[in-house]
Structure 1
Amino acid sequence: MLQLRPNCECCNRDLPPDSTEARICSFECTFCRACCDQLLHGRCPNCGGELLRRPTRPAGALDRFPAVRERILKPCH
């Protein structure tokens, strides 16, 4: 099950479950679109994998499978 992390690991921007700005790699590292495009050039700094748009979770599924609250921050600047 996809973990919906609440923030960009690079700049700490909030990325709520319905955000279309979230990007993830195959290990579910999470970044905002701005960091992905401007700093990371579409590659995860943790694994080198491709960063793609994170799918949104339907509201009904959020009740059963809520987003995680743990924030991860590893500034990439």
Structure 2
Amino acid sequence: MALEMRDTCEACGAPTPEGGLAFICSYECTWCSGCADGFPRRACPNCGGDLQVRPTRAA
């Protein structure tokens, strides 16, 4: 099952294009780097899980 690769930050609506830097939790909540850096302990505000750099897909 592939990642959904959402294209906007859930907090501020900034674009998170497929090849760009974005952070996700295990539920695929998606955040731009600016918002992720502002979360305490870089934890997902929805589920509390740790955020990881979203992987990129090969073309």
In the superposition, the TM-score normalised over structure 1's length comes to: 0.71
Q: Quick one: which amino acid aligns to residue 52 of structure 2?
A: L
Q: Gaps spanning 5+ residues in structure 2: where?
A: none
Using the alignment, how far apart are the partners of 2:6 and 2:54 within structure 1? 10
Deviations 1:3-25 (A, max 9, x none): 100000000000110002x0000
| Rg comparison, structure with higher value | 1
In the superposition, the TM-score normalised over structure 2's length comes to: 0.90
Aligned length: 57
Q: Once superposed, what is the RMSD of the aligned Cα atoms?
A: 0.8
Offset, 1:35: 0.4
Residue in structure 2 matched with residue 37 of structure 1 by the alignment: 37
Runs in 1 of length 4+ with deviation above 2 angstroms? none
Q: Gaps spanning 5+ residues in structure 1: where?
A: 60-77
Using the alignment, how far apart are the partners of 1:58 and 1:36 within structure 2? 24
- Aligned residues with identical type, % of pairs: 49
